[in-house]
Amino acid sequence: MRTYETIFIAHPDLVEEEVKALIERMKGIIENLNGQLIKVEEWGRKKLAYKLKKLTKGYYVLIRFLGNGEILVEIERNLRLSDAVLKYQSIKLDKNASGEVQPEVQPPVQEPPEGRETEPSKGDENEKEVKS
């Protein structure tokens, strides 16, 4: 199964129950086609970057799920046919994309073998102190 992320912009004049119904329809599609819902984020009403269908605001919703291409095709088909959706976009995420910032792994520090001392670098021998 692959991880997908779909974001859609719903009409800003929708009542909250209508937006919830639209989200529940998307959840149902994912579950009926044996997908796994990871998370749903409702970003709420926000100003659009440019006018869509003479509107300046939209209701943003993000859905992240595991599934196959069949689920994605069905979700996009439903979003395309819905008059309540202004725009949508879906992407396939990397296998290791979790949406969280991963800490950087520090390489282990290699110590010299026992009984040997490290030699000073050649640059250390040539350096002279400057006194003012």
Q: Both tokens of residue 86? A: 């202004």
Half-sphere exposure of 114 (CA within 13 A, CB side): 0
CA distance 55 to 96: 37
Asked whether residue 81 is domain-assigned, the answer is yes
Asked whether residue 26 is domain-assigned, the answer is yes
Asked whether residue 63 is domain-assigned, the answer is yes
Q: Both tokens of residue 97? A: 């994309």
Q: What is the count of structural domains for the chain?
A: 1
Q: What is the pTM of this model?
A: 0.69
Instruction: Give the model's pLDDT for residue 103.
Output: 44
In tens digits, the chain (132 residues) has pLDDT values of 899 999 999 999 999 999 999 999 999 999 999 999 999 999 999 999 999 989 999 999 999 999 998 999 999 999 999 999 999 999 999 876 555 544 455 556 666 666 666 555 555 555 555 555
CATH of the domain at 48: 3.30.70.60
Length reported for the chain: 132
Please give the residue range of the domain that contains residue 33: 2-92
CA distance 125 to 132: 21
